[in-house]
Structure 1
Amino acid sequence: MTILGPVVLLLVVLGFVTMSILFERKVIGWMQGRHGPNRVGPWGMLQTVADVLKLLLKEDIIPAKADRSLFKIAPVIAFVPAFAVLAVIPFTPKLVFADLGVGLLYYIAVSSITTIGVLAGGWASNNKYALLGAMRSAAQMISYEIPLVMAVVGVIMSAGSINLVKIVEAQQDVWYILPQIIGFAVFFVASLAELNRTPFDLPEAESELVSGYHVEYTGFRFAFFMLAEYVYVFAMAGLTTVLFLGGWNPVFGLDVIPPILWFLLKFFVIVFSLFWIRATLPRIRIDQLMQLGWKVLLPLALANIFLSAVLKEVPGIGNFY
């Protein structure tokens, strides 16, 4: 099971990435009044498979003046942490690969390593557009990681633990999205920036930087960067479900439905919301991005910590927190 578990999880994640790309294109097409993929396979179901095969068959090009060793390893550095954080996500009380006492801290620490891969890929390409995209990504991810972490402090105070399983168990009566609505809002917006998703996809701004930090990458190396992005969608949706939506805990005591189905239902609501936002909002400017993180989300996260600490001591309301 030590070997089989990660292999099964990798296959599940790859299946999710394949279907989520297709689903995203279909959803965005439906919301914007146009057709999504509808040619390759029935209802366009094989379009993502065709895209993967196309990337595999493309020529692997390395720029002549690039740092070859760093250029090759950067996509791996970006992808491996995205998969490694899945080990601590508890899908059910028994379906968790690594029930760490510091699971939340592990997730935050390991996920930050991806920034190094992105920065290394942009710098090693020896391309100004790639370097600008990498610098944007580093500034964005570091800036938004601060309010992201501070937004979950209220959850930690309420649960009294940074173990993700215990955080879910503490939400049997009340999901933390209710008492921690401010923390949830800050966490969700910051997670969009961490994922480089619209409207915060500045590191990949094709209208300004050709393609951003991965502009010189082709074939399967380029696919690794894209794979890391969608694996993080899987991981962040799972973490949001665990921290704020009660994980596998049922609604209204409907425990006749298996816990894994409750988790997946909440999980797909978050994933759909990410796609919905991409179909709706335009990309913001880089100065607006930084101002939102430092002048809006950070003060809100601090206010949420203070408010949670105060209300936790108020008789009658404290039990809600």
Structure 2
Amino acid sequence: MKAISYSRYGGPDVLEYGDVRDPKVGPDSVLVKVRAASVNPVDWKCREGYLDGILDPVFPVIPGWDVSGVVVQPGAAITEFAVGDEVIAYAREDVLWRGTFAEYVAAPVRTLARKPRNLSFEEAAGLPLAGLTAYQMLTKVLDVTAGDTVLVHAAAGGVGSIAVQLARHLGARVIGTASESNHDFVRSLGGEPVSYGEGLAERVRALAPEGVNAVFDTIGGDTMKISAELLAPEGRLASIADPDVVGFGGRYYFVRPNPHDLQSLSDLAEQGVVSVHVSETFPLERAADAHRLSAEGRTRGKIVVTVDWAD
């Protein structure tokens, strides 16, 4: 099959498009014909070796954890899915090896859910990692409930844009940081936008004088430190970007595959609660360009890689 892979850590230039061996379908996995795979910042961070301390690479590595596609072969132990089912997955394993930037992926059943019928394959591919991150952070880490005021950083990004929608669905008021050009987009999601940069704390306090109940940090560094000062008494702080958050009384969190959470997200998408904004698509052979664009950190919503099938 055709795939994108890399045989050593490095920049986008280490990504190669070509033939790799077809994946084997274990008893607890499902062979998925890939229609689309989204790009996440963790993809290029893995490629550059930043996660080497926690994930062993098995070179050549096929990058990508997000996928949408069609089941072509269930494993021998699979009863949940059948040939022809349209599915999505956060197909992360405990090693860097057989990712989703390929024509086919053997996804563990523990990572799969049914694709939202109202989303295109491109939109659906952008839901798993970003959506699960937002869902798990809001409901299991920050414990957001109706009446809370939540500060979401990078509210126009892949994770942030879904977090805004989910927090609003939970009944929270949402303040979201974003560049000026993305303020209307954040408003369309139900958030109250504020600009990044100097004076951020004052802008947030003007909207929430008594502080915010929860901060969803996706940036880290100084932004996270400022966020800790904006918390109301008993406020909660969590970050997906900076482990140093624990020093400010917060929690660092790394999203995990969960088929029940992912199916809940799919259901919410079908109900119109959650939408996925795709800013740009690239064909599989141009995945390196997709990685470059993602690394710039200025994307609205999601970047998606597509596999072109004639049938």
Name the structure where strand makes up a greater proportion of residues: 2
Alignment TM-score, normalising by the size of structure 1: 0.24
- More RCO (CA 8 Å, sep 6+): 1
Alignment TM-score, normalising by the size of structure 2: 0.25
